[in-house]
Amino acid sequence: MVVPDFSYHRRDSVQDCTKSSQDSSAERKTFTYFFNGAIYLLSAYFAKNAVVMFIGSMNPAADVLALAKIEIKLTDIPEGRNMVFQWRGKPLFVRHRTQAEIDQVAKVPLSELRDPQHDMDRVKKPEWLVVLGICTHLGCVPISDAGDYGGYYCPCHGSHYDASGRIRKGPAPLNLEVPEHEFASEDLLIVG
């Protein structure tokens, strides 16, 4: 019986049968450690990329981000008028209030309001009111310049809002929502 000779495939450090394998263990383990380390690094890199791609897929699309902000030219809105814009798929009311409207809503006592809020807490500039045009009762769209208080009126169930968007009469529990907005200049409003 002939035993095959595999010495061609063996490392030089283990060719000598008289030496202990402990003498060459450092050299053999070094290769294994480097190889395993490289595999771990590659695995971590691919896992990181998979997590980043997964989390990135949850971000809003570019067309949604484009609708996240709206710029409104205030010179197009005459005093005493209300204009409706679409923002994030919802109606946005921007009202250029007269001094009489400002004075009228400023003198309303908080005790008369269902959802008490000062007018100055709802506006950044007294002459401009920015609210979402969605009734807080069941989500209908109110009509501007209507109702018992000269602000907004929801014809669906009869909610009356004043010129500050505060609920005054009817089933709506809350005031009209004021979205995040800022005045970039005297004639430019940015909502969002």
Catalytic positions? 157
Q: Please spell the DSSP secondary structure of 32-57, one letter per residue.
A: HHHHHHHHHHHHHHHHHHHHHHHHHT
Q: State both tokens at 19.
A: 């030496």
Q: Taking Cα atoms as reference points, which of 139, 135, 118, 144 lies closest to residue 174?
A: 135
3-state percent helix, strand, coil for the chain, nearest multiple of 5: 30, 20, 45
Nearest to 135 by CA among 122, 118, 153: 153
Report how far residue 82's alpha carbon sits from residue 151's, in angstroms, rounded to the nearest whole number. 10
Which amino acid, residue 168? R
